[in-house]
Structure 1
Amino acid sequence: MTTPASEGRFVGIQISPISFVDEGVDTVLDTLKDRVGINVLMLGTVSWLGLKSGRSISHELDGWPDHGVPEPYQMRGGAYFDPDPRYYTDTFMADFRSRDPEFTGRDILKMVIPAAHERGMKVYIELMEPFFKYAGHGSAGTVEIPTLAQAMEVDLLGRLGSDPSTSNPGYRRWIHSMIEDQVRNHPIDGVMWCNERNSPLDTLIQGGAPGDFSEPARKEATERGIDVERCRQALLRLYDFMQEAAAGKQFPDGPLITFLRVLLDNPEALIWEKFWLERNKDLDRELYGLVKWCKPELPFGLNVWNRNHFNPIRRAQWPWAEQTLYADFVKPITYQHQAGEVWSRELSFFRTTILRDFEPDEATRALFRILGLNEAPFAELVATGMDPDSYVHGQCADALRGVDGKAKVYMGIGVDAPRTLPETAKCSRDIVYRSVLATYRAGGHGVVLAPNYASMHLTHLDGVAEALDELDQK
């Protein structure tokens, strides 16, 4: 088993601002440092998602944890630090300070950083895009930013989408400005960025109408010599096929072969997919460069979606080696007890359309072979989750091979990740304990406990402490 040098230990935890108000800064820091062994806080500073800035979003199913305030939090979202207006003169999103009454007069970075540094703990800011109305993430009901709705993506049918267009100059500049503000004005120790957007092809397979055909995106595509209307027409043909497949239409050659035929007959769809993907990655690259320009020594890392190792298309699109060009570390998300539920949902996208002729276990076994997974049969997967000794260990080993020494690998260990189905496996101290050990056995450089301390049971976090004690890392 690989044991990292104690001076290089990285035991992080994702934590929302409300925990410091509910429990007190000193109490939270002392508990995490002394009881669990945490030395890095991944602090959500800007979000309209309960999973990032609220209390437990699955309390109705999972109950409340053994700490904090056992009441729903009527989060309105926004920035939980005081934005410096000098950085927002060129964006329509200048007024985004949280109006949560619990944070009136409170700046979470000023509250936490000095106390954390006194204890030898580091503070990274943790941010995730989309910031708004993200299904399954406890989104705030209303986003109180004037004209934001006018910056939305436009789908191929001409309808406004649910997410702001990252091609919209005002929105993209806001992301840049918001991060530069925190990097320059606060003594943070690093940045972790998460990008969870669905590509056009991904959206099609899920049954949606892809974008982005907003005016800014069209302009960018045209400047690259892309015929936007031909791409839109190609995607429209694929959209029609997906709708027919989902409705149960019978195809002489079956849905998979028919899908490939429609795709090959309309290659402009792949041109748009590539354009969208590169602009999406450009945002990650821009933020890496921005952080390094402001503070060259400040670590910038990527919080990497678990769908990237559950979906063969996404896995092909997001190779680890490429990500090392704009990240100092990667955090693969492996929320092991929740993973069976996540896999079941991912598989349902394919089985509704192009893999409609496959039985669930048949499709699971085939895709597991392709993706290098070795887990329980489909019928058992939701109830058992994925095994830390195979799943966490395997994903850590895959990431390490992929980054090839060019970036650190901090495994994202799920601790009480929110469940949406009562039959989904529950977290336990043993699952957490084995996940930490599996990370270091594979050679990982550290762990990040996720997705949010506010929903974690301290008795489950004790599994982290037990593993760290065995590793002589606490």
Structure 2
Amino acid sequence: MTQIPDPAEKFVGIQISPISFIDEGVDAVLDTLQNRVGVNVLMLGTVSWLGLKTGRSISYKLDGWPDHGVPEPFTMRGGAYFNPDPRYYQNTLIKDFRARDAEMEGKDILDLVLPAAHARGMKVYVELMEPFFKYAGHGSVNNIAIPGLAQVMEVDVYGRRKDEPSTSNPDYRNWIHAIIEDQVRNHAIDGIMWCNERNSPLDQMMQGQAPGDFSEPARREALDRGIDVEACRRACIRMHEFLQAAIAGETFDDGAFITFLRVLMDNPALLVWERFWLERNKDLDRELYGLVKWCKPGLPFGLNVWNRNHFNIFRRAQWPWAEQTMYADWVKPITYQHQSGEIWAKELGIFQRTILRDFDPAAAAAVMQAMLGLKEAPLDSVIQAGMDPDTYVYGQCADALRGVHGKAQVYMGLGIDAPRVRADQAKCTPDIAYRSVMATYRAGGHGIVLAPNYASMHLTNLDGVARALQELGLKE
């Protein structure tokens, strides 16, 4: 039975790029979102080099252009779309990162949007996602024009510089702290949505990459915690060598899965490094939560939670909901329904190429679904079918609510025209949008966030959201 939400506690958010306000005009965008859709919270991307966060549609070649905005690619350069206050960046070498897109020249997106939104009774949350750079599949800018950025990169197990900044590097970490404090103190924002989508060392190896982070700052932190870094490095090398052999199709006497367990048990320092990495990753989330509360105790801080956390058995174990409530006022589980069949198949593919390669793919998928509590289409049709809102959105919302034990609000991240990567992938429809909203409230969710970016959403699909909100008494 659908829960009847309290209109006084309405939370209907939407993730939106700065460019949408430039293309369509601030008042026109707010009119559409408030009056046509029923949105009352803007999740505004303010710092990014990823098209999915601050640009126009990144899947226009496959999906065409939406029924609003400017129908042409945005040659974004990325960066900060507000004016950084130099006072906050004294303890980092990353100082020159203001966006230089011609369309945004001389414009501070927070100064443009905040007054107009507040005049309408709409809230504005800042949306930030780490990693900020070079994120495949998110429309990343090819060249990041930040002086000295190469100095803060991760180092892999073989001593080679990787392509993501090290979160242990004090310059990079202090920069993240600074961009949060700058916006919280200098702008009348109503909240922060933080997203952390980093791959752990084991995750990296399962995907065929050499693991990190063995940069000097990370090594020093590990030594300070009493960790034998060299033992961990040797263990990571051994696991990387095994997984490379598995991906290459090498034969193992006892099969890939048993051999994986043997390598893991013979090299327990690997788990020490995985645990160290995980805690440092969570430390960043905790630090930002504490920073926001120090600056403005009443300002909401929420986590945009990666859907890989419910598609991957290792990540599911590593990121329990109850723990996240210690550093979040609310959580947003990502459930991009029509897109998620392909993401689920891709996640399974990581295991099928490595530790589960000796098992029938359909049988392995069924077992994995059972372990993860998924009740979706079989592997051979899930990409085309997508995931059913009545089982997938409902189930993930119920799981999150059970996991937070009433200590955090649950705002479901609903995919509206989330970028597709193949022509036979399921498309969003007004019915999918409608049923996703209804499934959220039927499960007991506290609100919704329409995602990943308004710039790629069709208004006709957003009409499905509006219909559900009207039926729920959340829109006139």
TM-score tier after normalising by the smaller chain length: over 0.9
The residue identity in structure 2 corresponding to 1:205 is M
State the 1:4 CA deviation. 1.8
The residue identity in structure 1 corresponding to 2:418 is A
2:237 matched to which residue of 1? 236
The residue identity in structure 2 corresponding to 1:12 is G
Other structure's SS at 1:81 match:
coil
Other structure's SS at 2:333 match:
strand
Distance 1:140 1:245 in 2: 33
Other structure's SS at 2:391 match:
helix
Distance 1:371 1:142 in 2: 38
State the 1:362 CA deviation. 1.1
2:418 matched to which residue of 1? 417
State the 1:382 CA deviation. 0.2
Distance 1:244 1:35 in 2: 54
Per-residue CA deviations over 1:70-128 (Å, capped at 9, x if unaligned) read 00000000000000000001111111100101111100000000000000000000000
1:339 matched to which residue of 2? 340
2:395 matched to which residue of 1? 394
Q: Any stretches of 5+ residues in structure 2 without a counterpart?
A: none
Distance 1:361 1:69 in 2: 43
Distance 2:227 2:169 in 1: 18
Per-residue CA deviations over 1:227-248 (Å, capped at 9, x if unaligned) read 1011000010000100111111
The residue identity in structure 2 corresponding to 1:92 is L
State the 1:10 CA deviation. 0.2
Distance 2:90 2:244 in 1: 44
1:271 matched to which residue of 2? 272
2:309 matched to which residue of 1? 308
Other structure's SS at 1:139 match:
coil
**What is the correspondence of 1:161-200 to structure 2 with a 5 Å cutoff?**
161-200=162-201
Distance 1:252 1:113 in 2: 63
The residue identity in structure 2 corresponding to 1:112 is V
**What is the correspondence of 1:240-259 to structure 2 with a 5 Å cutoff?**
240-259=241-260
Distance 1:467 1:162 in 2: 43
State the 1:175 CA deviation. 0.1
1:441 matched to which residue of 2? 442
Per-residue CA deviations over 1:417-449 (Å, capped at 9, x if unaligned) read 000111110010000000000000000000000
State the 1:359 CA deviation. 2.2
Other structure's SS at 1:383 match:
helix
State the 1:158 CA deviation. 1.1
The residue identity in structure 1 corresponding to 2:233 is R
The residue identity in structure 1 corresponding to 2:435 is R
State the 1:296 CA deviation. 0.3
Normalising by the residue count of structure 1, what TM-score does the alignment of the two structures yield?
A: 1.00
State the 1:360 CA deviation. 2.0
1:262 matched to which residue of 2? 263
Per-residue CA deviations over 1:274-323 (Å, capped at 9, x if unaligned) read 00000000000000000000000000000000000000100000000000
Q: CA RMSD in A?
A: 0.5
Per-residue CA deviations over 1:254-273 (Å, capped at 9, x if unaligned) read 10000000000000000000
Identity %: 72
The residue identity in structure 1 corresponding to 2:122 is M
State the 1:458 CA deviation. 0.2
1:145 matched to which residue of 2? 146
The residue identity in structure 2 corresponding to 1:224 is R
Distance 2:212 2:142 in 1: 24
Other structure's SS at 1:377 match:
coil
Distance 1:3 1:195 in 2: 32
The residue identity in structure 2 corresponding to 1:65 is P
Distance 2:423 2:266 in 1: 44
2:215 matches 1:214:
yes
The residue identity in structure 1 corresponding to 2:59 is S
Q: Any stretches of 5+ residues in structure 1 without a counterpart?
A: none
Distance 2:163 2:432 in 1: 36
1:287 matched to which residue of 2? 288
Which consecutive segments of 4 or more residues in structure 1 shift more than 2 A? none
Distance 2:433 2:93 in 1: 43
Per-residue CA deviations over 1:3-62 (Å, capped at 9, x if unaligned) read 221110000000000000000000000100000000000000000000000000000000
Other structure's SS at 1:378 match:
coil
